[in-house]
Structure 1
Amino acid sequence: MPYRSQFIIIEDNLIDQFVIKKLLKKGLDVNPVYIANNGKEGMNWIQKNQNQSPLIILLDIQMPVMDGFEFLKEFDKLPEDVKEKIEIFVLSSTLDSDEIKKVKENKYVSDFWNKPFRLETLKSVFLEA
């Protein structure tokens, strides 16, 4: 049975996009999975599709054009009724403890996952909730 939420991957790395999309399809039977190459594309997609819900965002931190932190600042400006339908998980390979702390302290971020993350992580969060 397909997972009920829609997913958008906001990630600039094509290999990471491919791997995450495959994990979502294999582990949660999610289809389609939307892709945005940076925070600006992700924000544009959300604004055009804000009536679709619920939505789970898998957000990278370090990206060109608009990074994950800039995305979170723009996300804060969205209407409350849009934000309440969205759950954000930050995915990163960063080892910078300040960045990790900043992510974990953001009120819109549900969790921080190191890349690469495992299929079991997805299943434990989304299927056992």
Structure 2
Amino acid sequence: MEFNSTILLIEDNLIDQLVTKQLLKKILDINQVAIANNGLEGLQWIIKNKKAKQKLVILLDIQMPIMNGFEFLDIFQTLNMEIQKETQIYVVSSTLDSDEIEQIRKNEYVCDFLNKPIPVEELKKQFLNSFLF
């Protein structure tokens, strides 16, 4: 089976960026991961690089400078419907705030919430079930 989605990691922490890229490479043999350091960079990447009919998987942090994950999600809902339907967003965060977690889980564009550090088996299960076509 072949993974045919593009992955965009929106994460401001350089260590988390490195660890996530290594996990994706190790468990799914994915070498190409686009990185954005905040929500604004993530939106700019989508507008510049998203191609029609291209599946996009976003791993989104919540607490970031410039534009946080919630602000990103607010603007994401205003994007073209084709982009929305071809994109799957997973929030990856270390938040323990129950209000934030509830807000994440209620967002119609978020497929799931994963705690940091990313649980390897859960990530593998999510990707194998959802993204291999």
Which residue of structure 2 lines up, in the alignment, with residue 83 of structure 1?
84
Deviations 1:26-46, CA, capped at 9 Å, x for gaps: 111112100000000000000
In the alignment, structure 1 residue 100 sits paired with structure 2 residue 64: no
1:2/1:28 contact within 8 Å kept: no
**Uncovered stretches (5+) of structure 2, i.e. residues with no partner:** none
Maintained 8 Å contact 1:8/1:55: yes
TM-score relative to the length of structure 2: 0.93
Across the aligned residues of Structure 1 and Structure 2, the Cα RMSD in angstroms comes to: 1.2
Give a deviation string over 1:8-62, Cα, whole Å, max 9, x none: 1000000000000111111111121000000000000000112151010000000
> Is there any run of 5+ residues in structure 1 with no aligned partner, and where?
none
Which residue of structure 1 lines up, in the alignment, with residue 10 of structure 2?
A: 10
The list of structure 1 runs, each at least 4 consecutive aligned residues, that deviate by more than 3 angstroms after superposition, is none
Partner of 1:74: 75
Gap change, CA 1:2 and 1:29, over 3 Å in 2 = farther
Question: C-alpha deviations, 1:75-103, integer Å up to 9, x for none?
Answer: 01100011111000001101100000000
What number of residue pairs does the alignment pair up? 129
**Could you say which structure has the greater relative contact order, defined with CA pairs below 8 angstroms and 6 or more residues apart?**
2
Measure how far apart 1:2 and its partner are.
4.5
**Percentage identity across paired residues of the two chains:** 56
- Paired residue type of 2:46: I
| Mapped partners of 2:109, 2:73: distance in 1 | 8
Q: Please, what TM-score do these two structures have when normalized by structure 1?
A: 0.95
Q: Is the 8 A contact 1:2 1:30 kept in 2?
A: no
